[in-house]
């Protein structure tokens, strides 16, 4: 608690923004589906951290409760996402998203 509040809020903001941008960049430039999923996780976690930080900053527990929600949803999402990726790999022997362009038009 003390460590969290000892660091000024602006640090969190800058850090989380950088983390989020790394996630975005990863999503945009990576071709491997697995890595894209990881980048999405990175973005989610940057938000989580920011929510926790603001929760401490404003003394409002709601933010931290929200974080738990997001973690649950993210876990479910990763589970399904990974399952899909595995299935895709089984059928196409590839997880390159540029190859996976059959669902179009």
Partner 1 sequence: MMMNAIVFLIPLFPLLGFLVLGAGIRVIPRKVTALLAPGMILLSLISTLVLFIGFHPSTASQVHQLFSWIRIGPLDIPFAFLIDPLSILMLLIVTGIGFVIHVYSVGYMKEDPGFNRFFSYMNLFVFSMLLLVMGANYPVMFIGWEGVGLCSYLLIGFWFKNHEFNNAAKKAFIMNRIGDLGFLMGMFLIFTTFHSLDYQVVFDHARGMTPGNPVLAGITLLLFIGAAGKSAQIPLYTWLPDAMAGPTPVSALIHAATMVTAGIYMVARSNILYILSPATMAVIGITGLATALLAAFIAIFQNDIKKILAYSTISQLGYMFVGLSAGAFTGAMFHLTTHAFFKALLFLGAGSVIHALGGEQDIRKMGGLKQAMPKTYRTFMAATVAIAGIPPLSGFFSKDEILAKAFEYSPLLWVFAVAGSLMTAFYMFRLLFLTFSGDFRGTEAKRAHLHESPAVMTIPLVILAILATFGGLINLPALFGGNAGLEYFLEPVFAASGSVAAHGTPLPPATQWLLMGVTLAGVLAMAAWAWKRYTAQHRGLLPDDAPRTFAERVGRNKIYIDELYQLVVVRPLMWLSKFFYEIVELRFIDRIVNGVGSLVVRTGNTVRYIQTGNVGFYMFVMILGIILILFFNILI
**Bridge partners for 86 per DSSP:** none
Could you identify the residue written with the tokens 């738990």?
68
The length of the chain in residues reads 105
The yes or no reply on residue 104 touching partner 1 (CB under 8 A) is: yes
CA angle 10/13/19 to nearest 5° reads 145
The yes or no reply on residue 6 touching partner 1 (CB under 8 A) is: no
The yes or no reply on residue 5 touching partner 1 (CB under 8 A) is: no
Distance from C-alpha of 18 to C-alpha of 84, rounded to nearest angstrom: 29
The three-class DSSP label of residue 100 is: coil
94 contacts 34 by C-beta, under 8 angstroms = no
The yes or no reply on residue 91 touching partner 1 (CB under 8 A) is: no
The yes or no reply on residue 100 touching partner 1 (CB under 8 A) is: yes
Q: Which of residues 20-79 bind partner 1 (CB under 8 A)?
A: 24, 27-28, 31, 33, 36
The yes or no reply on residue 102 touching partner 1 (CB under 8 A) is: yes
The yes or no reply on residue 101 touching partner 1 (CB under 8 A) is: yes
Residues that bind partner 1 (CB under 8 A): 24, 27-28, 31, 33, 36, 97-98, 100-105
């Amino acid at each position: 608690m003390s460590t969290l509040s000892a660091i000024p809020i602006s640090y969190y903001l800058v850090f989380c923004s950088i983390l989020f941008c790394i996630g975005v960049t990863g999503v945009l430039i990576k071709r491997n589906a697995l890595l894209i999923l990881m980048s999405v996780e990175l973005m989610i976690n940057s938000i989580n951290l920011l929510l926790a930080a603001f929760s401490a900053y404003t003394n409002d527990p709601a933010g931290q409760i929200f974080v738990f929600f997001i973690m649950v949803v993210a876990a479910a999402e990763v589970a399904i996402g990974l399952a899909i990726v595995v299935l895709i790999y089984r059928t196409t022997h590839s997880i390159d998203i540029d190859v996976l362009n059959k669902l179009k038009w």
